Amino acid sequence: MMSPASHIAATDQCDEPMLPNDGRTEPQSASEPRLDLTAIRRQFPVLAREVYEGVPLVYLDSAATSLKPACVIDALAEHYRSRSANVHRGLHRLAEEATEAYEQARERVARFIHAPAARQVIFTHGATESMNLVAHSWGRKYLGPGAEVVVTEMEHHANLVPWQQAAAQSGAALRSAPITDDGQLDLAALDRMLTPRVKLVAVTACSNVLGTVNPIEAIAKMAHAVGAVVMVDGAQHVPHRPTDVAAWDCDFLAFSSHKTCGPEGVGVLYGKAELLETMPPFLTGGEMVRRVRRTDADWNELPWKFEAGTPPIAPAIALGVAVDFIDSVGFEAIGAHEAELLAYAYHRLSEAPGLRILGPEPRRRSGLVSFTLEGIHPHDVAQLLDRRGIAIRAGHHCAQPLHTQLGIAASARASFYLYNTTADVDRLVEGVCEAQKLFSPRG
């Protein structure tokens, strides 16, 4: 079995300036943008909460779902307060306003991921539904006996199980590209797997367990060379790093609102127009048709062909506000801040005896750290940390095959975002040390 690399040991509030240094740490260079963490944290109301009496919240679970800024919360409430109407159907004022706000959100999201056209952005009810849409719609049309789908060993279940089902139903074969000993995708092995039989490569842009950031542009070029299309799971990438679907030349990209400072209940599927236009609808009914006859129907244009029934109107509108909020902070500043936090956390946690960090070194990963503690179950770690007000994730993180490959059943995961501080990391490390004292046989 592989031995992975490890170490043992829109409101006014959202318009506030956010870049002066908060004074906690020195900038890495004079020109590097800095976040004003006091101003940033003021945007997120839940950070003022005490989760237990006298115990303030330390939120280190953004890889599961990010916190929401006040401007997003306000946008969600404002839709219901002033224009709670359906879209694309009514001729009255409220319906027209709702439709305009909904389609403006689509434009905002398209700009955020550099989609060539807004009609290539489809609103779903989550990233999981987005990937299921491709597996069912594209897979039904293009997969069959003799075809192959290639996934990777680091995939989230949402970009694995739909392809298991699509392969089983179509008679296609499902193959898995391995990872290296240090938790990176084995690109040489992937290249050897790519033959003209491969019709699709499903790959995460950033692993939700290892933190590994994959070279999507290079992978897309490799896949396209044999005529395969590329389905990218962007759930852990889009909120944290610039995402340019045109530069990547990926065929499909899925991501979720609730990891991107937006509300639950809405996700995004980007697809190349020439592929989307050939694909049959995933769901039917409502405004996804142009004309219906007794025995058949004509489909609507993109993107509405794939938005059957009442779409997630208010969440989509609030997502538009969320991506604007992230843009106002800037990925350069967010990236520098997360890199600093990651390096600090990696160093501090590496000093703990019996602690194993999963995945590559900090310069090759995103802002999360999954780890195990010798002799202590991750669930026990998470519960003890919770009593100290520290929210982390424990379990298999919807990536059971990866954990099996790593030789473990579960891991603990701390994930960082723009509102976290080095003090949050210090409290995490203190909690880990306490867990070792309480649960370790050597304690």
**Residue 398 known to be catalytic:** yes
297-313 burial string, b = 16+ CB within 10 Å, else e? eebbebbbbbbbeebbb
Taking CA atoms, 298 is separated from 134, 139, 267, 286, 301, in Å, by 20, 21, 26, 12, 10
Q: Catalytic pick from 14, 71, 398, 433?
A: 398
Mean pLDDT of the chain: 92
CA distance 61 to 308: 32
- Specify the long-range contacts of residues 48-52, CB closer than 8 Å, at least 24 apart: 50/389, 51/386, 51/389, 51/391, 52/387, 52/389
pLDDT at 20: 33
Q: What is the pLDDT of residues 216-237, one digit of tens each?
A: 999 999 999 999 999 999 999 9
Q: What is the pLDDT of residues 297-339, one digit of tens each?
A: 999 999 999 999 999 999 999 999 999 999 999 999 999 999 9
Q: What is the pLDDT of residues 10-66, one digit of tens each?
A: 333 344 333 333 333 333 444 567 899 999 999 999 999 999 999 999 999 999 999
Which pLDDT band holds residue 286 (cuts at 50, 70, 90)?
A: confident
Q: What is the pLDDT of residues 153-167, one digit of tens each?
A: 999 999 999 999 999
pLDDT at 32: 63
pLDDT at 23: 33
Q: What is the 3-state secondary structure (H, E, C) of the chain?
A: CCCCCCCECCCHHHHCCCCCCCCCCCCCCCCCCCCCHHHHHHCCHHHHCEEECCEECEECECCCCCCCCHHHHHHHHHHHHHCCCCCCCCCCHHHHHHHHHHHHHHHHHHHHCCCCCHHHEEEECCHHHHHHHHHHHHHHHHCCCCCEEEEECCCCHHHCHHHHHHHHHHCCEEEEECECCCCCECHHHHHHHCCCCEEEEEEECECCCCCEECCHHHHHHHHHHCCCEEEEECCCCCCCCCCCHHHHCCCEEEEECCCCCCCCCCEEEEECHHHHCCCCCCCCCHHHEEEECCCCEEECCCCHHHCCCCCCHHHHHHHHHHHHHHHHHCHHHHHHHHHHHHHHHHHHHHCCCCEEEECCCHHHECCEEEEEECCECHHHHHHHHHHCCEECEEECCCCHHHHHHHCCCCEEEEECCCCCCHHHHHHHHHHHHHHHHHHCCCC
CA nearest neighbour of 220 among 186, 191, 255? 191
Over 80: is that where the pLDDT of 145 sits?
Answer: yes
pTM above 0.75, yes or no: yes
pLDDT at 90: 79
Token pair 């996934």 is found at: 151
Q: What is the pLDDT of residues 418-432, one digit of tens each?
A: 999 999 999 999 999
CA distance 116 to 244: 10
pLDDT at 440: 64
Token pair 């990209």 is found at: 253
The answer to whether residues 48 and 379 touch, using CB atoms and an 8 Å cutoff, is no
Taking CA atoms, 52 is separated from 62, 134, 378, 379, in Å, by 20, 43, 21, 19
Taking CA atoms, 346 is separated from 85, 361, 372, in Å, by 48, 8, 13
In sequence order, the β-bridge partners of residue 376 are 373
Over 60: is that where the pLDDT of 3 sits?
Answer: no
Token pair 């909120």 is found at: 239
In sequence order, the β-bridge partners of residue 415 are 61, 368
Task: Specify the amino acid at residue 104.
Answer: Q
pLDDT at 34: 84
What proportion of the chain, given as a percentage, has pLDDT over 90? 88
Which pLDDT band holds residue 8 (cuts at 50, 70, 90)?
A: very low
Domains located in the chain, CATH noted = 12-70+330-439 (3.90.1150.10), 72-327 (3.40.640.10)
Taking CA atoms, 67 is separated from 12, 43, 58, 59, in Å, by 18, 10, 11, 8
